[in-house]
């Protein structure tokens, strides 16, 4: 496998089939300048030396002293080949594990040995975002960006500022007032980012940051950026890698801005196109009931990808109703507290490709699932636990069988929303609450309390 490629192996393309405008990768765009739709990174595979079989990637384990071979994203670099190696930025992201977890499997009524948890909390900044940032910052270096920005509920800001600091870029974070996990914002403040707190929610921040980036020429690092999604494809490559290069039956992922589900579908589409896998897995995307735009649109309004001809009116009417009701989403899973997901259409494409399904779960179900995941070894944030809560629904409905092989993506670390965990236990909010017991400062009384 060669290690350096030209950017002419890739280009950007509008996902709207009526437009289909193409742009080279040297441009920094987050919307099609012709029609305003989302953009994809697309590859001329005949110009890239892609391995004949996935197992070839395993050879890179022997050369892990090479920084790109060490990265859990760039060791698959032929599959996201949009820039030359000299621009690639890595801080060792993607050293994450796929853990088979029978304790959690029992909770969701899945047979032993069939449930796997892909724990992205092990990334340097504590969430899956590092997969996307390593790719997007490589693109930012390629286009010579000097300053960058994002809207965030916490993880994007921590990851962006970590990479910005490493690349010498200035960074600005937009947060909604009262809507940020402060444990996460602390990372951004440490790295020297400028933080703008807007009187509004994440969706408001997302709208503002796009206009600010356009007007000031800042490099946008939300998942509208097509190169961020290229990096996030690697989460799927690593799941397959850890399953000895086999594809699971199901991928389950939380749905917020729908970047992951979009990226994962693209990863499988391309692997199939390249003949590297025979079958794509099914995908379940899980919303919180307090932020269930995707569930409403897909399950109730029957919104479809329809080969790219998405019925825009259904979306416009839905959003007009949200506006009329002055609706703002609310869930303890702050990372998916989003009502206008920017990657909606790409996610519809994934649903079409992967025979995908969508469900919404309550905060109570999320917190119980989170407690169980924690009990059996992995501390994750509420948004991540939505996957297990969703799986419990899908098992009860019989949509997923007990012996299917399932991989749930735990997107972020417990330490994003530690207050949720502490309150769940201390305030006895759920069936697995385990609060501290108060004791007088007397030995015999203390001894009586120890079970």
The CA–CA distances, whole Å, from 365 to 171, 289, 361, 423 equal 36, 10, 6, 15
Q: Which of residues 329-368 bind ligand F0G (CB under 6 A)?
A: 335-336
Q: Which residues contact 96 (CB under 8 A, 6 or more apart)?
A: 72, 118, 119, 120, 121, 122, 123, 235, 238
How many residues bind ligand F0G (CB under 6 A)? The answer is 21
Contacting residue, 94, 124, 183, 259, with ligand F0G by CB under 6 A: 259
Contacting residue, 124, 255, 265, 329, with ligand F0G by CB under 6 A: 255
Instruction: Considering the complex, state which of residue 79 and residue 224 has its C-beta at the smaller distance from ligand F0G.
Output: 224
Supply φ then ψ for residue 97, to 5 degrees: -115, 150
Q: How would DSSP label each residue in 34-81?
A: TT---EEEEE-GGGS---SSGGGGGGGGGGTTSHHHHSTTGGGGGGG-
Residue 125 binds ligand F0G (CB under 6 A)? no
The C-alpha atoms of residue 109 and residue 103 are separated, in whole angstroms, by 10
Instruction: Determine the angle formed by the axes of helices 259-273 and 226-242, rounding to 10 degrees.
Output: 70
Contacting residue, 161, 260, 293, 331, with ligand F0G by CB under 6 A: 260
Instruction: Considering the complex, state which of residue 247 and residue 294 has its C-beta at the smaller distance from ligand F0G.
Output: 294
Residue 156 binds ligand F0G (CB under 6 A)? yes
Instruction: Considering the complex, state which of residue 188 and residue 240 has its C-beta at the smaller distance from ligand F0G.
Output: 188
Residue 421 binds ligand F0G (CB under 6 A)? no
Structure tokens at 277: 């896998």
Supply φ then ψ for residue 57, to 5 degrees: -65, -25
Instruction: Considering the complex, state which of residue 94 and residue 412 has its C-beta at the smaller distance from ligand F0G.
Output: 412
Contact range with ligand F0G by CB under 6 A, out of 6-14, 160-168, 237-245, 253-261: 253-261
Q: Residue 415, exposed/middle/buried by CB under 10 A (0-12, 13-18, 19+)?
A: middle
Element (H, E) at 24: strand 22-24
The CA–CA distances, whole Å, from 450 to 303, 403, 428, 442, 447 equal 56, 40, 20, 13, 5
Residue 153 binds ligand F0G (CB under 6 A)? yes
The C-alpha atoms of residue 166 and residue 158 are separated, in whole angstroms, by 13
CB of 174 to ligand F0G, least distance (A): 10
Instruction: Considering the complex, state which of residue 70 and residue 137 has its C-beta at the smaller distance from ligand F0G.
Output: 137
CB of 48 to ligand F0G, least distance (A): 26
Q: What's the residue count for the chain?
A: 451
Residue 265 binds ligand F0G (CB under 6 A)? no
Instruction: Considering the complex, state which of residue 254 and residue 281 has its C-beta at the smaller distance from ligand F0G.
Output: 254
Nearest CA to 188 among 218, 152, 139, 223? Answer: 152
CB of 180 to ligand F0G, least distance (A): 9
Q: Which of residues 366-385 bind ligand F0G (CB under 6 A)?
A: 381, 383-384
Binding mask 195-224 for ligand F0G (x = CB under 6 A): ----------------------------x-
CB of 256 to ligand F0G, least distance (A): 3
Instruction: Considering the complex, state which of residue 12 and residue 261 has its C-beta at the smaller distance from ligand F0G.
Output: 261
Nearest CA to 118 among 395, 418, 407? Answer: 407
What are 97's strand-pairing partners?
119
Tell me whether strands 97-100 and 115-119 are parallel, antiparallel or unpaired.
antiparallel
Structure tokens at 445: 């009384």
Contact range with ligand F0G by CB under 6 A, out of 92-100, 154-162, 190-198, 400-408: 154-162
CB of 439 to ligand F0G, least distance (A): 36
Contact range with ligand F0G by CB under 6 A, out of 39-47, 85-93, 153-161, 265-273: 153-161
Q: Which residues contact 80 (CB under 8 A, 6 or more apart)?
A: 41, 73, 135, 230, 231, 233, 234
Binding mask 68-107 for ligand F0G (x = CB under 6 A): ----------------------------------------
Q: Which residues bind to ligand F0G, rule: CB under 6 A?
A: 127, 152-156, 223, 254-260, 335-336, 381, 383-384, 411-412
């Amino acid at each position: 496998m060669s290690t350096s490629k030209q950017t002419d192996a890739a280009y950007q393309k509008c996902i709207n089939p009526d437009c289909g405008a193409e742009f080279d990768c040297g441009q920094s765009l987050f919307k099609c300048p012709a029609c305003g739709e989302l953009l994809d990174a697309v590859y001329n595979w005949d110009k890239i030396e892609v391995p004949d079989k996935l197992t070839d990637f395993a050879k890179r384990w022997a050369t892990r002293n090479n920084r790109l071979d060490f990265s859990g994203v760039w060791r698959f670099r032929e599959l996201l080949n949009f820039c030359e190696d000299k621009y690639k930025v890595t801080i060792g992201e993607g050293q994450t594990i796929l853990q088979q977890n029978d304790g959690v499997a029992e909770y969701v009524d899945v047979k032993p040995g069939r449930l796997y948890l892909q724990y992205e909390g092990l990334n340097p900044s504590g969430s899956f975002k590092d997969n996307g940032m390593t790719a997007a910052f490589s693109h930012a270096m390629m286009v010579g960006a000097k300053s960058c920005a994002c809207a965030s509920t916490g993880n994007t800001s921590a990851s962006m500022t970590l990479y910005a600091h490493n690349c010498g870029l200035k960074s600005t974070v937009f947060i909604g007032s009262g809507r940020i996990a402060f444990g996460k914002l602390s990372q951004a403040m440490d790295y020297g980012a400028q933080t703008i707190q807007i009187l509004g929610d994440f969706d408001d921040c997302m709208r503002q940051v796009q206009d600010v980036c356009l007007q000031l020429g800042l490099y946008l690092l939300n998942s509208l950026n097509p190169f961020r999604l290229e990096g996030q494809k690697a989460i799927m490559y690593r799941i397959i890698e850890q399953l000895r290069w086999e594809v699971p039956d199901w991928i389950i992922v939380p749905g917020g801005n729908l970047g992951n589900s979009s990226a994962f579908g693209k990863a499988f589409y391309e692997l199939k196109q390249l003949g590297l896998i025979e079958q794509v897995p099914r995908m379940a995307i899980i919303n919180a009931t307090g932020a269930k735009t995707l569930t409403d649109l897909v399950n109730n309004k029957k919104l479809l990808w329809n080969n790219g001809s998405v019925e825009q009116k259904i979306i416009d009417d839905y959003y007009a109703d949200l506006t009329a009701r002055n609706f703002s989403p609310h869930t303890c899973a702050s990372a998916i507290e989003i009502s206008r997901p920017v990657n909606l259409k790409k996610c519809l494409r994934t649903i079409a490709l992967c025979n995908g399904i969508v469900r919404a779960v309550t905060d109570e179900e999320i917190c119980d699932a989170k407690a169980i995941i924690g009990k059996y070894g992995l501390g994750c944030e509420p948004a991540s636990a939505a996957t297990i809560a969703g799986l419990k629904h899908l098992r009860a409905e019989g949509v997923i069988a007990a012996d299917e092989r399932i991989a749930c993506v735990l997107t972020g670390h417990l330490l994003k929303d530690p207050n949720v965990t502490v309150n769940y236990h201390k305030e006895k909010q759920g069936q697995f609450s385990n609060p501290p017991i108060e004791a007088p400062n007397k030995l015999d009384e203390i001894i009586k309390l120890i079970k």
